[in-house]
Chain A
Amino acid sequence: WPYCQKRCSYCNFNKYIPRGLDEASMRSCLTQEARTLIQLSQVHRISSVFFGGGTPSLASPQTIAAVLETISRCAHLAADASRLAEFRASGINRLSIGIQSLDDAELILLGRDHTAHEALGTLEEAKKLFPGRTSIDLIFGLPGQSVASWTKGLEELLQQCDDHVSLYQLTLERGTSLFRQVQQGSVPAPKQEVVAEMYEVAREMLRDTGYRQYEVSNFARNGALSAHNLSYWQGSQYIGIGPGAHGRFVPRAHGENLREARIQTLEPDSWMKEVQAFGHGTRKRAAQGELEVVSVSQYLQWVSPLLPHQHWLQFAPSLSLWDVFGTSVEVKELEDQGLLLLDNRGLRCSWKGLAVLDSLLLTLLNQLQQSWEDR
């Protein structure tokens, strides 16, 4: 759902403030594109449907219901799936609430249109409707935020939240108003050291409260992992529907065997016209080479080291993991520093290594590329 009521100061997603939106035709386009692309992929079973945005809760439950209904008519949809109640009635079974911060001043800085109090109210309601399936999103590393204020907010939330938490470090994206404010010096840039400390403290607090970090930003307890995110990270196929949506699947109906990365047209009106004309609004298709598929799959494994992953050999039968990484001096150095683990379960990063994963990835991806070319 590409629409928002207001632009947040840090967000550079593909989003639009609606002007004279015709929800009925948007709805029919979403269902049309879903039909077209599912047929193209020849997928028979769909394990999860994720509504993103924009602000997906601005879509009427009717639209959500229509999309889900279409999908389940085209493929088998796993059955284990105020407004929130209506969403539940229309088939929504998991909620992620963008609380972001419990400090109202920070919410203003972020350009959010709610208060901390309102967010906590929504959290309460969601927990009642979706017990064990309500997640919260938090942002840290804000300009002016201290480690103490961050931990205080997190502590308060940990007492009230459900079984899933996502923590995101603020990234200042070019083109957003917050980026400009920091550039102009009207708000201070977050300090690297402070942000690192926030991340570390938060990871420890969550660990001590019984959460397992199963990905760089994601924490769950009682097995409440996000099924949808899991399938991204485990390298499953996914179909993106709607303006600006990304998908990665094999278009089997065209007789293809390689995965394609697909991007739908960004701008809603043009996207709608394309869907009405061609049944879908795919703007860009790029077939993925073997190395890319392997790199992405490895990347995803490294990002989420605790998840069970499809075996390396499924992607690269001709090259063993040991061949690629076992002999590298640089990988050995990283192992010695306690950042990487290489054993018969695979190559993954340690608890300590997860915090500096972006640096490790450069070495690992270069090594992978090198071995792939030398193969």
Chain B
Amino acid sequence: MLSLAPRAAGGWARLPSACGAAAVLRPSPWVEKSPADHAAFTRPCSSQKKVTRVCVRNGYSFGRLDLLGRRGSPLAHASVFCPFNLPKYKGKLDMSLFPVENIRNFSIIAHVDHGKSTLADRLLEITGTIAKTDQNKQVLDKLQVERERGITVKAQTASLFYNYEGINYLLNLIDTPGHVDFSYEVSRSLSACQGVILVVDANEGIQAQTMANFYLAFEAQLAIIPVINKIDLKNADPERVEKQIEKLFDLSKEECIRISAKLGTNVEKVLQEVIEKVPPPSVNIDDPLKALVFDSTFDHYRGVIANIALFGGEIQKGHKIVSAHTGKTYEVNEVGILTPNERPTHKLYAGQVGYLIAGMKEVTEAQIGDTLYLHKQPVEPLPGFKSAKPMVFAGMYPVDQSEYNNLKSAIEKLTLNDSSVTIHRDSSLALGAGWRLGFLGLLHLEVFNQRLEQEYNASVILTAPTVPYKAVLSSPKLIKEHRKEEITIINPAEFPDKFSVSEYLEPIVLGTVITPDEYIGKIITLCQARRAVQKDMVYIDEHRVMLKYIFPLNEILVDFYDALKSHSSGYASFDYEDAGYQTADLVKMDILLNGNSVEELGTVVHKDKAYAVGKAMCERLKDAIPRQLFEIAIQATLGSKVIARETVKAYRKNVLAKCYGGDITRKMKLLKRQAEGKKKMRKIGNVEVPKDAFISVLKRQSEK
């Protein structure tokens, strides 16, 4: 028998039961002081009864009994016991109930939209972690941008409690972002896991991100549970997907679980597979404390909240801990588990995953990958993570300079939770003071921008993204100046000319395209136009092909994804991973207005692309610069060679004077306003260029 009641006094939950029997109600353990009551709560739910609803609202929890599980027949051997019925120690959850062998740490990985978050919602519901309602959509995706785009940006963790064959298990679900831009986040999350659920859409089959995510898990030597989702769809073809999985991942058909996360079909089976197939963490509670920081968030009231995975020992309030990275000592204020909101616990033990608050003031103090140990009991630090390396840069400026400080504080707040964004102050004669920001990838950039707009109501000018080029210097003078031979060029103004450089390098990526075979021709043509070199081409089933290409990163930055989608009627998927640098024939292109160079429009381009880029920029400028009293030549140049030119013709007529009595007032007002605007224009030689013209040339062209 199960008893559930509001956490605080003030209400008794009514438990409807199908057979009309009255349910016994008792105060919740959360307010229970008497140790005598513990026994009642340690008892698992009766195996025939299943809690299908547990609501958590403002700290109140109550549940309902349902004699028949809504999802069909009651399960004979597995059931859920309520997480908030756990025994307490001094009013806090007692985690000692979960020895290492009863712990499973796992992630769900999938291509975007294959149903990872929906599966997570179901797992949370089945285990009673959240209430089962129709509103549970992407519960772990807390950000507005995540819900809108159906993606996960910031990994979230949730501890689930599950009774299987009479044993209480602690299942730590570590949610991962689904996109390659966040592969750093994925690798962090995976390092705290021993297994993954690999979700594949029964209709779409294996997609590019499925591949990328599989390899991340495979390389980390994790147990992999293949799950074929959306079998309820009309076009579902699980047999075909099973064959793909067999061929590409070398996992047998029999291992695949066919589910519908949306309807809940077979989802319990997934949980049971997690228990059966994922090994418990191999750690020892008797070792000294060894905790891995795998994520961190910032809370305005409580400071840094570090997500930790314990690889040895135990941790509790009052412990003195040391960061292996900084050597700083902290006193632990609070530890707990995430459900997915923070729930304080008495202790955390080896093998468990949870959070820690220890008076850290800045996220940089909780370095991802850092190891924490007990004061005076140092341990060998865990191997660190590769640090996130920005691959896409873009200038960010306030639309109005008076907004500079607001934008600055918004960016600072956002980066508190996202240490992978790099920030350099920058200023442009045309756009004023701003920043050059480095992102992990394009999606990362877009998400950052969207979060600024949605969460901080900031409106910004975002310049077209660029990649970090490199130059190997040959001029001794420059080498001395930079104190190194190889320099990274983020700002085109710093581009050294070819006489002082032995070679230029550009970043490249290994791109994976998966497409139905009828689009191969078009896609190969597209890739070639992007200077890509084919590395591999494999049929993953009778109709689908996986192509691998080395792309210059720059070539996929702007509209590659859209082009790919439009060349394949939306069926092709794409993903990429960092592949280092290669030599490239780079040039700096200048834009001249009547012979005067416009500094902020200088661009580094590949020589083969200079003409097209120059022409496009000249055309955009032509449309954006208003006519003036003289002709304006807009030129794109490489050194002294003009590669593109457009002309803005002079005004022949610009007078509308029609001034009689009343009109003078109106006309003078209009002229005054225009004269004020004229003062604000940026003058390049004698050419007046409005800010809008710069924006239209510099900003990202297409919204994706």
Contact = CB atoms under 8 A, between A and B. Distances in A.
Given A299-B668, A362-B678, A366-B675, A197 B652 contact: yes
A33 interface: no
B661 A356 contact: no
Nearest to A13: B662
Interface string B657-689: 111111011011001101100110000001000
B654 interface: yes
Nearest to A215: B657
A359 B654 contact: yes
Nearest to A169: B656
Interface string B630-646: 10000000000000000
A319 interface: no
B472 to A, nearest CB: 46
A240 B663 CA distance: 12
B661 A246 contact: yes
B628 interface: yes
Contact of B653 (A195, A292, A337, A363): A195
A238 B661 CA distance: 8
A129 interface: no
A339 to B, nearest CB: 7
Contacts of A355: 652-655
Interface size class of A (residues with CB under 8 A): 35 or more
A77 interface: no
B674 A356 contact: no
Among A199, A238, A261, A358, the one with the most B-chain Cβ atoms within 10 Å of its Cβ is: A358
B655 A337 contact: no
Interface in A137-165: none
A38 to B, nearest CB: 16
A324 interface: no
Interface string B619-635: 00000000111100000
Interface in A49-70: 50, 52
B628 to A, nearest CB: 7
Contacts of A233: 659
Contact of A200 (B627, B652, B664): B652
B658 A356 contact: no
Nearest to B667: A299
Given A337-B629, A366-B678, A196 B653 contact: yes
B385 interface: no
Nearest to A226: B660
Contacts of B679: 366
Contacts of A354: 655
A142 to B, nearest CB: 15
Interface string A330-371: 000110010100000000000000111111111101100100
| Main DSSP-derived SS at the A contact region | helix
A122 interface: no
Contacts of B674: 358, 362
B651 interface: yes
A236 to B, nearest CB: 11
Given A296-B668, A334-B629, A359-B629, A365 B675 contact: yes
Nearest to B662: A246
Contact of B657 (A197, A238, A247, A357): A357
| Main DSSP-derived SS at the B contact region | loop
A373 interface: no
Contact of B671 (A171, A199, A246, A361): A361
Contacts of A245: 661-662
A229 interface: yes
Given A199-B653, A362-B671, A366-B679, A240 B664 contact: no
B652 to A, nearest CB: 4
A303 B675 contact: no
B629 A232 contact: no
B662 A357 contact: no
A217 interface: yes
A216 interface: yes
B684 to A, nearest CB: 15
A232 B664 contact: yes
Nearest to A330: B686
Given A246-B665, A303-B659, A359-B629, A333 B686 contact: yes
Contacts of B629: 334, 337, 339, 356, 359-360
B430 to A, nearest CB: 20
Contacts of A244: 662
A168 interface: yes
A193 interface: yes
Given A197-B652, A359-B651, A232 B659 contact: yes
A365 B671 contact: yes
Among A50, A217, A360, A362, the one with the most B-chain Cβ atoms within 10 Å of its Cβ is: A362
Contacts of B652: 193, 196-197, 200, 355-356
Contacts of A359: 628-629, 651, 654
Nearest to A244: B662
B665 A261 contact: yes
A238 B665 CA distance: 13
Sorted nearest first, the 7 A-B pairs with minimum C-beta distance are: A196-B652, A246-B662, A196-B653, A216-B657, A357-B655, A356-B654, A358-B654
12 contacts: A50-B661, A52-B660, A171-B656, A233-B659, A240-B662, A299-B667, A303-B659, A334-B629, A337-B629, A358-B654, A358-B656, A361-B675
Interface of A: 50, 52, 168-169, 171, 192-193, 195-197, 199-200, 215-217, 229, 232-233, 238, 240, 244-248, 261, 263, 292, 295-296, 299-300, 303, 333-334, 337, 339, 354-363, 365-366, 369
Given A356-B654, A361-B671, A365-B675, 10 more contacts: A192-B653, A193-B652, A196-B651, A196-B652, A245-B662, A261-B665, A263-B665, A358-B654, A359-B651, A366-B679
